[in-house]
């Protein structure tokens, strides 16, 4: 038994060392957000200091942080709801009324995800320019719901096929229309699955940085693009960068931790279970 305990101790030290190293940049960012700008650049780096929240106040006052946060919220929630609205009926149809082509349709949907965004940057940019969608929240919302649609359909499909068929068939025999089936049975039964699908879609939209950097400017920029504006500032700014970054990633870190188990399913398109 002694030997087993020693082994466990060794693993504990190793694993925590690894976790600490990997987490360090985030930890350091959290810490720096509470330093003054002078302390933030101190060498040797200061570990003990009097925490201040002045950076959090400054980020809002000088850069209007909440405007960009609101953009992020609107775009990621909106695109997720839009994607779900289209995906739920589609996934329902494919899970419960499979045809010969269902599998091919699913695979084809996934394959659209593999188109590199940069390959269609030019046409999307031009189309957006002509339609007046550049630098609008609506434009980005549409793009994100389209990028996430295949993953959302796919994940919902995997959750729906786990719902026992008999329940739905019994209702159908009682004269329930497909729509009733969907609203009163399937949605309540698979609510946890729908929730984690939505969560993944929100996470992906929140962190997306290719389209947000290329399609938005001062008006509709979400947090990814707002943080990028710190790449060429003047003067001391590390503490403010850290404070803004902390606020930008905090909600998604929590969401991510909540849904990590379901994420594997969505992120690997079911190829790893």
Partner 1 sequence: MVSSIPSPDRPTARKTRRTVRTLPLKLPSVILLLVWSIVPLGMTLWFSFERYNLLNPGEKGFVWFENYHFLFTDPGLRAAILNTLLLVGWVLVITVGLGTLLAVLFDQAFFGRGIARVLIIAPFFVMPTVSALIWKNMLMHPVNGVISFLMRSVGLHVIDWFSDAPLTAIIIIVAWQWLPFALLILLTAIQSLDPERKEAARMDGAGPFAMFFFIILPHLGRAIGVVVMIETIFLLTVFAEIFVTTSGGPGFASTNLAFLIYRFALLEFDVGGASAGGVIAIVLANIVAVFLMRTIARNLEA
Q: Which stretch binds partner 1 (CB under 8 A): 51-59, 130-138, 186-194, 252-260?
A: 252-260
Among positions 97, 100, 164, 166, the unique one binding partner 1 when judged by CB under 8 A = 97
In the region spanning residues 132 to 171, those forming contacts with partner 1, defined by CB under 8 A, are 146, 149-150, 153, 170-171
Nearer to partner 1 (CB atom), residue 45 or residue 192:
45
In the region spanning residues 184 to 223, those forming contacts with partner 1, defined by CB under 8 A, are 184, 203, 206-207, 209-210, 213-214, 223
Q: Is 1 in the site for partner 1 (CB under 8 A)?
A: no
Burial 135-160 (b: 16+ CB within 10 A, else e): bbbebbbbbbbebbbbbbbbbbbbbb
Note whether 181 and 168 are within 8 A (CB). yes
Q: Is 36 in the site for partner 1 (CB under 8 A)?
A: no
Exposure of 47 by Cβ count < 10 A (0-12 exposed, 13-18 middle, 19+ buried)?
exposed
Among positions 3, 48, 61, 116, the unique one binding partner 1 when judged by CB under 8 A = 116
Min CB(51)–partner 1 separation in Å: 17
In the region spanning residues 58 to 77, those forming contacts with partner 1, defined by CB under 8 A, are none
Q: Is 6 in the site for partner 1 (CB under 8 A)?
A: no
Among positions 1, 100, 130, 173, the unique one binding partner 1 when judged by CB under 8 A = 173
Q: Is 112 in the site for partner 1 (CB under 8 A)?
A: yes
């Amino acid at each position: 038994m002694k030997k087993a305990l020693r082994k466990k101790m060794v693993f504990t030290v190793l694993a925590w060392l690894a976790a600490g190293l990997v987490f360090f940049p985030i930890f350091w960012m959290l810490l720096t957000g509470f330093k003054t700008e002078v302390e933030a650049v101190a060498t040797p780096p200061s570990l003990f200091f009097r925490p201040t929240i002045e950076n959090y106040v400054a980020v809002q006052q000088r850069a209007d942080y909440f405007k960009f946060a609101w953009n992020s919220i609107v775009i990621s929630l909106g695109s997720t709801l839009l994607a779900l609205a289209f995906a739920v009926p589609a996934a329902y149809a494919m899970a419960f009324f499979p045809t010969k082509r269902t599998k091919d349709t699913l695979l084809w949907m996934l394959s659209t995800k593999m188109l590199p965004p940069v390959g269609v940057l030019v046409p999307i940019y031009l189309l957006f320019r002509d339609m007046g969608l550049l630098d609008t929240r609506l434009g980005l919302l549409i793009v994100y719901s389209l990028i996430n649609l295949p993953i959302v359909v796919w994940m919902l499909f995997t959750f729906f096929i786990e719902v026992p068929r008999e329940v739905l068939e019994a209702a159908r025999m009682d004269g329930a229309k497909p729509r009733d089936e969907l609203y009163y049975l399937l949605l309540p039964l698979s609510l946890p699955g729908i929730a984690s699908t939505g969560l993944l879609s929100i996470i992906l939209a929140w962190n997306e940085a290719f389209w947000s950097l290329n399609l938005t400017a001062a008006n509709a920029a979400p947090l990814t693009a707002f943080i990028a504006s710190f790449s060429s500032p003047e003067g001391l700014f590390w503490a403010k960068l850290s404070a803004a970054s902390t606020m930008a990633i905090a909600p998604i870190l929590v969401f991510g931790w909540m849904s990590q188990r379901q994420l594997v399913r969505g992120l690997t398109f079911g190829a790893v279970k």
